[in-house]
Chain A
Amino acid sequence: MADKRCSLQEAIQMIQNDDMITFSGFVIWRRPMAAIYEMLRQGKKGLHLVEVNSGTHAELLIGAGAVSIWESCWIGHELYGKVPHCLDRKMRERSVIVEDYSHQHMLYRMAAGAMGIPYLPTWASRGTDILNPEYDMLEKSGLRNGANERIPAKKFDFAQDPFYNEGEIIHVPAVRPRVCIVHAQQVGEEGTIRITGQTYSDEQAIKASELVIVLAEEIVPESYLREEPERNLIPGYLVDAIVELPWGAHPTGAYGYYDVDGPFIREFAAASKTDEGFATWADEWVYGVKDHEEYLNKLGVSRLEKLRANSYRKYSTKVKRGTR
């Protein structure tokens, strides 16, 4: 078997401009941030982001001008910045096409991709403007003409339930990303993925995608992961590239390894209010550091140690979170 281990730079070189791409995690948890920084350093452009939900990582890509289409349901930084300043700005200046779905719609779209079927039915979000055909932005942009095989012919379809006569049901089209970048706690050298804590929508995102890149806190022996296969999420043959990258999800959090770096995200969210603020921030934290190691050195040991999770509790007991 070919060795899938590679450097972060090599893994990110597998991503092409204009790729359709998705990520692991949930808003500000277990996002493959080191890969995002490297994508910006390598100057990726024209990306089509398709995500169950979006967060800090996507704001970075959008703010840097790397994204041309964003399809998802929510974007922000939770407690650390609710307004998606980058998406707001780029959407209003019309440099990013925004296609809104609901959480369940995106989840079922990704699940359909993972199941190898063209669509899934759902009852969710009937009666909302998400279904308003006037707001089908890929259609309005002329992108549902079949030229791009990853863009479905319709945003939604409606059909009568043919089996139980339960009425009209919504069909949501499958998502078929070319690339999924995952941040996992552990991966075996053949690619078996173990994710601990909540798995969010990682399984659907990974299985829907053609090319899977995994950043992991640790590469561990396959034989170790095979002692308890019930704890593993993904078999190795679905994985294409493996990068061992401790702290690779910083500033987002990783169950059992470290907490969210709230102040870091808050500073980024505040800086991202303007193009100038974004550029200054990115010059310091993305383009001003050569690689992940330099980034960690810049953060410093004491900052990282404070975030490190207690081995029993799986979160940091040293972070001051509230006002007391």
Chain B
Amino acid sequence: MADKQYAKPGEYSIVDMLAVASAREVKDEEVVFAGTGLPMLAIMLAQQLSAPNSKLIYEAGTIDSKGDSLPSSVGDPRCVTKASVASGLFDVFNQLQRGKVDLAYLGGAEIDKYGNVNTTVIGDYLTPSMRFPGSGGNPDINSLARRTVFIMVQEKRRFKEQVDYITSPGWMVKKWPEGTLVHRREAYGKKFLGGPSAVITNMAVFRFNEEIGTMYVDTLHPGVTREQLQENTGFTLDFSHCKGETEPPTYEELRILRDVVDPEGIFLPPIK
């Protein structure tokens, strides 16, 4: 777009910001693996704008669908509309393991500075204070896609020095059966394809120093200060590579999100 008209704070919601920032991670022609919710908004927005030739695989087993009604989950019949192939999990997870997936979006309840994510339990595993839904495909996708992008809520209790349980592997992971902390490259050896590439939250975009495996602040969303971000993070943030402000949504991006991608308001909040 030659003439980008950026929306002003107050003209877009946090969900809009998350969807738009996530959509910008997709490169054209990429094969993208997506789960339910915000990832669907992100990839469909990207397909409308910057990545028309990207292919979308839904975790439950449909490939490259071209529906005109946003699915409310990956198992939804709407995923099947005009798909290239309607198959099952065995097919798509085999393709993932075969190395065919370039980018995947994931979420999580907790994340640590290495990008390890917990979606299993809060507290001690054997005597937890809270049970979450569990791993699902999160650890598989994060193991076997070339890049993963996490979409998360920025809260001190969610951004931790160490997660309570590593459901999904970041850049420094545990090598079993010993349980020693090693770099992802060592844990995956010849099967190393990549790893967490970005964490997009309601306050900022983070990326990783892949050599030492730690997270750094890439951009802060408009109106968010470094102090506020640190306040909502459980470990000391690295601002040394901070590029400034995240580009806000453009009016065109907002229009496509609301009128084309999710006109029913399934994942987007109601318009005031």
Contact = CB atoms under 8 A, between A and B. Distances in A.
Nearest to A26: B75
Interface in A89-121: 91-92, 98, 100-105, 107, 111
B125 to A, nearest CB: 5
Contacts of A26: 60-61, 74-75, 89
B262 interface: yes
Contacts of B125: 129, 132, 134-135
Contacts of A98: 131
B80 A200 contact: no
Band of interface residues on B: 35 or more
A84 B169 contact: no
- By secondary structure, the B interface counts as loop
B97 A123 contact: yes
A73 B35 CA distance: 15
Interface residues of A, number: 73
A286 B169 CA distance: 41
A192 B127 CA distance: 46
Contacts of A167: 189-191
A102 B73 contact: no
Interface in B157-198: 165-169, 173-177, 179, 182, 184, 187-191
Contacts of B80: 197-198, 255, 314
Contacts of A91: 128, 131
Contacts of A135: 125-126
Contact of A128 (B130, B144, B174): B174
Nearest to B134: A74
A188 to B, nearest CB: 21
Contacts of B93: 103-104, 107, 124
Contacts of B188: 123, 126-127
Given A29-B76, A74-B133, A128-B173, A103 B140 contact: yes
26 contacts: A26-B89, A27-B75, A52-B89, A73-B134, A74-B133, A92-B127, A101-B135, A103-B135, A104-B93, A123-B143, A123-B144, A127-B175, A129-B165, A166-B189, A166-B190, A166-B191, A167-B190, A168-B189, A198-B87, A199-B61, A200-B75, A309-B77, A314-B77, A315-B69, A320-B264, A323-B269
- The 8 A-B residue pairs with the shortest CB-CB distance, nearest first, are A127-B173, A322-B265, A322-B264, A127-B169, A29-B75, A324-B265, A88-B131, A74-B136
Interface of B: 36-37, 59-62, 69, 72-81, 86-90, 93, 96-97, 120, 125-128, 130-140, 143-144, 165-169, 173-177, 179, 182, 184, 187-191, 262-271
